[in-house]
Structure 1
Amino acid sequence: MKLTEKQKNCPYCHDPFPSVPLFGGNILLRIAEDGGEYVLNVECNGDPEDVGILSFATDGQAIIGCPFCRRPLSEEEE
Structure 2
Amino acid sequence: MTVKRIEINEDALFALVRPLVEAETARIAGNAGEGFVGDVIASRGKDARPHGAVRATTYKARLKNLRENTLLKAVGGAQ
Task: Please classify the TM superposition score into its range, dividing by the shorter chain length.
Answer: 0.3 to 0.5
- What is the TM-score when the length of structure 1 is the normalising length? 0.34
Higher helix share: 2
The alignment's TM-score, normalised by the length of structure 2, stands at 0.34
User: Which has the higher Rg, Structure 1 or Structure 2?
Assistant: 2
> Greater relative contact order (Cα 8 A, min sep 6): structure 1 or 2?
1
Q: Which has the higher strand share?
A: 1
